[in-house]
């Protein structure tokens, strides 16, 4: 059985179910004392649900310490950029301790943050930062694109024994979707094939998945069948599913809201170039954000981001249906 | 905290001497076995009284976090020096299987949950472990060791604020050895530059702050012990500034000739041209000072003290030989613990 929920409520449902299931799960962060979070305090008590000051280094560091001591904290960070305030704890503490201790300890924490808020939030609250973390051995990175995945990936993140950067896309916050009832887990490292096709593979994550599906619909009207794949987690990355698809289609377009050299698409392009070169019938094309600080003004913001038109154009280029852009 | 009887005082002396002997063997390895220790090591000589006096206050379920200058605490807590030396030599039988090295010693079985090599980064980790202790309600306390330099990091201020706000069962032991790497405290600390002790920082977080002579293990034991009892009783955290003098340079490393990454002698001599400062610190060396006190008070005969020293020498020699004989880990171990 399933029920319909907004994406953000699906995340909430997963946290609540995991907190009911396992009393080691803690949930804390800034503004946790606000009305929307009072039910958590009522349900799970002030030991397990706490509001913190604006202290990201301490919040994430405290989560690490509580995890080392046997708990499973979820840190509510609100925006991905706030993790940058505590980059040491995210990149150089949480993912290091298991290795440096020779396997004596583990750090099961979830760093929950929204990202990609390209709705006029300007230069410092709109980044698509997931790929910054996929290059850090020891971290896992989840980037759900649907309400069901939002729930299932959060539950998996909380049960994972490693630090997980869980990034929910702000533009999907109120998107509704069918969500399975009760316990629901989406395994990490298993891509979702959102649309099957034989002519072209499009890989996209987060808010870009719906843009890619829209582009695929338009391509279908021209007789092109695009396969659309959402990796769902950047680390572990399901290169197997992508390579299998490329073997079938021979054409690959990678879509990423991040700027190119900080994008997952660049990493995927490298993997496919190395392991799937003989399958490719044309060069890979990447549709990423332009290398710019996201501008405030609406037409400028739209101009630097990937969109359906750019994805369609890239597909046509890969398939030799349109002139290559100079 | 109950007063220390004669036996425990002698035991504290023995632990101090074991730490000193261990660190001497680490230092000596650079000359006796060149290339065996890689990277950077940081020695605890001068800090023994503070380390042992603090660790002696802990109960069996208590936990502690330290800095990258981390060899002393686990020794005092019961960790096997053979495994520690093997770790520092990067060997298979190392405490952390040769992956961590000198700066990241960890011994979960003794309540030592992991060590960050980044200044102040371990302070929130200790604070989080104290939150865990508070939730468990079993009377656990966490000791958090860090240096004077760490107290200028945001991680320090953020953590102490939360610890006080939440009344966490933790004692912050700031080991003030007068230097952050090659910089003197008064060059980088507003309190010290204005003639204040660093423990005044506690006032900003509405917690008790006290400054003590960290070269006196009894004073350390009594002060940290009172703070531990306070924490255990649910009355919240304390900041203890334990003043001492680091008797070695900041770090011992093998550096290519001409690369000024470290000083062979203490910075007071090499950088500040103040050998008299260093000589005075040597005269206040806590290890011989405590021996003199115990002998003077009749708690220890010179013969007994010599026997303790001989035991420590033999133990650490065995640690060196064990570590030298231990093989390197299989290279694939490098990938074994990246993910749980």
Nearest in space to B320 (alpha carbons), one of B5, B30, B11: B30
- pLDDT tens for A191-209 read 999 999 999 999 999 999 9
Comparing CB atoms, the residue among B106, B131, B154 nearest residue A105 is B106
How far is C-alpha B323 from the chain's CA centre? 22
Rounded to an integer, what distance in angstroms lies between the CA atom of residue B100 and that of residue B77?
19
Q: Distance between CA atoms of B205 and A47, rounded to whole angstroms? A: 21
In this complex, the residue of A26, A88, A108 whose CB is nearest that of residue B118 is A88
Give the DSSP letter string of A136-158.
STT-EEE---SHHHHHHHHHHHH
Tell me which residues of chain B, numbers 162 to 201, contact chain A at a CB-CB cutoff of 8 Å.
162, 165-166
Looking at residue B265, its pLDDT comes to: 86
Q: pLDDT, tens digit, for every residue of A34-75?
A: 766 778 988 999 999 999 999 999 999 999 999 999 999 999
Q: Given CB atoms, is A36 within the 8 Å cutoff of chain B?
A: no
pLDDT greater than 90 at residue B264: no
The per-residue pLDDT for range B284-297, each reduced to its tens digit, is 999 999 999 999 99
Rounded to whole angstroms, the Cα distance separating A193 from A240 reads 12
Average pLDDT over residues A92-104: 98
Residue B49 phi, psi (nearest 5): -65, -40
A274 interface with B at CB cutoff 8 Å: no
Residue B161 touches chain A, beta carbons under 8 Å: yes
H or E segment to which residue A4 belongs: strand A2-6
Do B115 and B103 meet the contact criterion of CB atoms below 8 Å apart? yes
Axis crossing angle, helix B6-32 with helix B48-55, rounded to the nearest 10: 130
Measuring CA to CA, how many Å separate B112 from each of A102, B74, B144, B266, B324? 13, 7, 11, 29, 25
Given a cut of 90, whether residue B100 has pLDDT beyond it is: yes
Phi first, then psi: give them for residue B325, nearest 5 degrees.
-80, -20
Model pLDDT, residue B255: 55
Of A3, A125, A168, A251, which one is the catalytic site residue? A125
Q: How far is CA A305 from the centre of its chain?
A: 17
Q: Are B66 and B145 in contact (CB under 8 A)?
A: yes
CA distance B290 to chain A (A): 34
Instruction: Please say if the pLDDT value at position B1 is more than 80.
Output: no
With b for 16 or more beta-carbon neighbours within 10 A and e for fewer, the B220-259 pattern comes to bbbbbbbbbebbbeeebbbbbbbbbbbbbbbbbbeeeeee
Sequence-distant (6+) residues with CB within 8 A of B313 are B21
Which residues in chain B are closer than 8 Å to A106, comparing Cβ atoms?
340
For A57, the closest of B100, B124, B129 (CB atoms) is: B124
Of the CA atoms within 13 Å of residue B238, those in its CB half-sphere come to 25
Could you report the predicted ipTM of this complex, rounded to two decimals?
0.95
Residue B65 CA to residue B106 CA, distance in Å, equals 9
Q: Which of residues 57-96 of B touch A (CB under 8 A)?
A: 63, 65, 94-96
Cβ of A55 within 8 Å of Cβ of B340? The answer is no
Decide: A255 and A208 in contact? Cβ < 8 Å: yes
Give the nearest chain A residue to B106 (CA atoms): A101
Average pLDDT along chain B: 95
Using CB atoms, which residue from B63, B134, B158 is nearest to A57?
B158
- Whether residue B134 lies within 8 A of chain A, CB to CB, comes out as yes
* Mutate: best of A55, A97, A101, partner B, most B CBs <10 A: A101
Cβ atoms of A168 and A8 closer than 8 Å: yes
Could you report the per-residue pLDDT of A242-283, keeping only the tens digit for each?
999 999 999 999 999 999 999 999 999 999 999 999 999 999
Taking every pair of Cα atoms in chain A, the longest distance, rounded to a whole number of angstroms, is 62
Which residue among B99, B114, B158 sits closest to A55, beta carbon to beta carbon?
A: B158
Determine, for residues A105 and B161 on separate chains, whether the beta-carbon distance falls below 8 Å. no
Q: Is position A168 annotated as part of the catalytic site?
A: no
Best of B74, B131, B154 to substitute, by most chain A Cβ atoms within 10 angstroms, is B131
User: Is the CB of A104 less than 8 angstroms away from the CB of B107?
Assistant: yes
Chain centroid to Cα B225, Å, comes to 17
Closest CB to B125 among A55, A64, A104: A64
CA distance B311 to chain A (A): 29
Query: Which residues in chain B touch residue A99, judged by CB atoms under 8 angstroms apart?
Result: 99-100, 337-338
According to the 3-state scheme, what is the secondary structure of chain B?
Answer: CCCCCHHHHHHHHHHHHHHHHHHHHHHHHHHHCCCCCCCEECCCCCCHHHHHHHHCCCCCCCEEECCCCCCHHHHHHCCCHHHHHHHHCCCCCCCCCCCCCHHHCCEHHHCECCCCCCCCCHHHHHHHHHHHHHHHCCCCCEEEEEECHHHHCHHHHHHHHHHHHCCCCEEEEEEECCEECCEEHHHHCHHHHCCCCHHHHHHHHCCCEEEEECCCHHHHHHHHHHHHHHHHCCCCCEEEEEECCCCCCCCEECCCCCCCCCCCCCHHHHCCCCHHHHHHHHHCCHHHHHHHHHHHCCCCCHHHHHHHHHHHHHHHHHHHHHHHHCCCCCCCHHHHCCCC
Cβ-based neighbour number of residue A40 at 10 Å: 20
Task: Answer whether B135 sits within 8 Å of A62, measured CB to CB.
Answer: no
Residue of chain A nearest B133, judged by CA positions: A69
User: What pLDDT, in 10s, does the model give residues A51-62?
Assistant: 999 999 999 999
Contact across the interface for A104 and B108, Cβ inside 8 Å: yes
Residue A83 has pLDDT above 90, yes or no: yes
pLDDT digits (tens, 9 = 90+) for B33-64: 988 998 889 999 999 999 999 999 999 999 99
Is B128–A65 a contact, with Cβ atoms under 8 angstroms apart? yes
User: For residue range A108-151, what is the model confidence (pLDDT) as tens digits?
Assistant: 999 999 999 999 999 999 999 999 999 999 999 999 999 999 99
- The pLDDT score that the predictor gives to residue A217 is 98
**Cα B280 to Cα A67: distance, rounded to the nearest angstrom:** 44
Residue A80 sits at φ, ψ, to 5 deg, of -55, -35
Q: What is the pLDDT of residue B252?
A: 74
The pLDDT-based confidence of B31 (bands split at 50, 70, 90) is confident
**Virtual torsion, Cα B325, B326, B327, B331, nearest 10 deg:** -150
The reported pLDDT for the residue numbered B254 is 58
Q: How many angstroms away from the CA of B111 is the closest CA of chain A?
A: 9
Task: Identify the CA nearest to A24 among candidates A74, A75, A70.
Answer: A70
Q: What is the least distance, in Å, from the CA of A167 to any CA of chain B?
A: 20
Question: Three-state SS for A71?
Answer: coil
Q: Regarding beta strands B252-253 and B40-41, do their DSSP bridges make them parallel or antiparallel, or are they unpaired?
A: antiparallel
Average pLDDT on B267-280 reads: 92
Contact pairs from chain A to chain B, CB under 8 Å: 143
Residues A195 and A219 sit within 8 Å (Cβ to Cβ): no
Helix (H) or strand (E) segment spanning residue A257? strand A252-259
Count of CB atoms situated within 10 Å of the CB of A169: 26
> By the 8 A CB rule, do B328 and B86 touch?
no
Distance CA A165, CA A94 (A): 11
Q: pLDDT tens for residues B216-249?
A: 999 999 999 999 999 999 999 999 999 999 999 8
Q: Rounded mean pLDDT of chain A? A: 96
The nearest CA of chain B is from the CA of A292 a distance in Å of 30
Q: State the nearest Cα–Cα gap between B166 and chain A, in angstroms.
A: 10
Q: What is the dihedral of CA B153, B157, B163, B166, to 10 degrees?
A: -140
A225 contacts chain B (CB < 8 A): no
Q: B340 and A71 in contact by Cβ < 8 A?
A: no
The residue length of chain A stands at 326
Cα A291 from Cα A156, distance rounded (Å) = 33
- Residue pair B67/B115 in contact (Cβ under 8 Å)? The answer is yes
| Euclidean distance between CA atoms B77 and A64, whole angstroms | 23
Give the pLDDT confidence of A274-308 residue by residue, as tens digits.
Answer: 999 999 999 999 999 999 999 999 999 999 999 99
**B110 inside 8 A of chain A by CB:** no
Mutate to test the interface with B, among A102, A138, A156, A158 (most CBs of B within 10 A): A102
């Amino acid at each position: 059985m399933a029920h319909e929920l907004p994406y953000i409520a699906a995340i909430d449902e997963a946290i609540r179910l995991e907190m009911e299931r396992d009393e080691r799960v803690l949930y804390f962060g800034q503004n946790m004392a606000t009305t929307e979070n009072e039910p958590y305090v009522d349900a799970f008590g002030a030991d397990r649900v706490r509001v913190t000051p604006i202290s990201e280094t301490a919040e994430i560091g405290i989560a690490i310490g509580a995890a080392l001591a046997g708990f499973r904290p979820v840190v509510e960070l609100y925006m991905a950029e706030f993790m940058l305030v505590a980059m040491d704890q995210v990149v150089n503490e949480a993912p290091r301790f298991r290795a440096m201790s020779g396997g004596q300890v583990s750090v099961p924490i979830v760093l929950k943050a929204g990202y990609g808020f390209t709705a006029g939030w300007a230069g410092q609250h709109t980044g698509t930062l997931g790929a910054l973390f996929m290059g850090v051995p020891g971290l896992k990175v989840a980037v759900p694109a649907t309400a069901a995945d939002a729930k299932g990936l959060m539950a998996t993140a909380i049960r994972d024994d490693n630090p997980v950067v869980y990034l929910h896309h702000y533009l999907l916050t109120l998107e509704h979707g069918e969500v399975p009832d009760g316990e629901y887990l989406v395994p990490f490292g298993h891509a979702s094939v959102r649309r099957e096709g034989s002519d072209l593979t499009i890989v996209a994550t987060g808010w870009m998945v719906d843009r890619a599906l829209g582009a695929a619909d338009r391509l279908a009207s021209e007789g092109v069948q695009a396969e659309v794949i959402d990796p769902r987690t950047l680390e572990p990355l399901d290169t197997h599913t992508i390579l299998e698809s490329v073997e079938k289609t021979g054409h690959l377009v990678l879509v990423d809201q991040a700027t190119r050299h900080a994008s997952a698409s660049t990493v995927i392009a490298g993997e496919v170039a190395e392991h799937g070169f003989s399958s490719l019938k044309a060069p890979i094309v990447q549709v990423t954000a332009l290398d710019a600080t996201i501008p405030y003004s609406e037409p400028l913001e739209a101009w630097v981001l990937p969109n359906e038109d750019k994805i369609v154009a890239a597909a046509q280029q890969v398939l030799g249906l349109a002139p290559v852009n100079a | 905290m109950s007063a220390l009887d004669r036996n425990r005082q002698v035991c504290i002396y023995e632990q101090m001497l074991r730490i000193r002997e261990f660190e001497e063997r680490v230092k000596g390895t650079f000359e006796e076995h060149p290339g065996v220790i890689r990277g950077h090591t940081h020695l605890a000589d001068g800090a023994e009284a503070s380390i042992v006096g603090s660790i002696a206050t802990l109960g069996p379920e208590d936990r502690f976090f330290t800095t990258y200058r981390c060899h002393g605490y686990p020794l005092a807590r019961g960790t096997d020096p053979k495994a520690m030396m093997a770790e520092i030599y990067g060997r298979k039988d190392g405490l952390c299987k040769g992956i961590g090295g000198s700066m990241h010693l960890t011994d979960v079985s003794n309540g030592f949950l992991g060590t960050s090599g980044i200044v102040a980064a371990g302070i929130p980790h200790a604070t989080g472990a104290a939150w865990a202790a508070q939730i468990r309600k079993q009377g656990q306390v966490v000791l958090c060791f860090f240096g004077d330099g760490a107290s200028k990091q945001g991680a320090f201020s953020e953590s102490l604020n939360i610890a006080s706000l939440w009344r966490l069962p933790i004692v912050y032991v700031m080991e003030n050895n007068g230097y952050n790497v090659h910089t003197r405290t008064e060059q980088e600390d507003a309190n010290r530059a204005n003639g204040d002790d660093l423990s005044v920082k506690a006032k900003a977080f509405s917690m008790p702050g006290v400054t003590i002579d960290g070269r006196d293990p009894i004073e350390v034991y009594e002060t940290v012990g009172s703070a531990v009892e306070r924490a255990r009783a649910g009355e919240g955290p304390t900041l203890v500034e334990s003043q001492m003098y680091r008797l070695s340079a900041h770090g011992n490393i093998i550096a290519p000739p001409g690369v000024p990454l470290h000083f062979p002698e203490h910075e007071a001599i090499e950088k500040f041209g103040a050998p008299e400062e260093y000589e005075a610190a040597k005269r206040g060396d806590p290890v011989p000072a405590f021996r003199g006190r115990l002998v003077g008070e009749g708690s220890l005969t010179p013969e007994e003290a010599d026997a303790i020293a001989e035991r420590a020498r033999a133990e650490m020699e065995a640690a060196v030989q064990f570590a030298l004989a231990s093989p390197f880990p299989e290279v694939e171990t490098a990938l074994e613990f990246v993910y749980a």
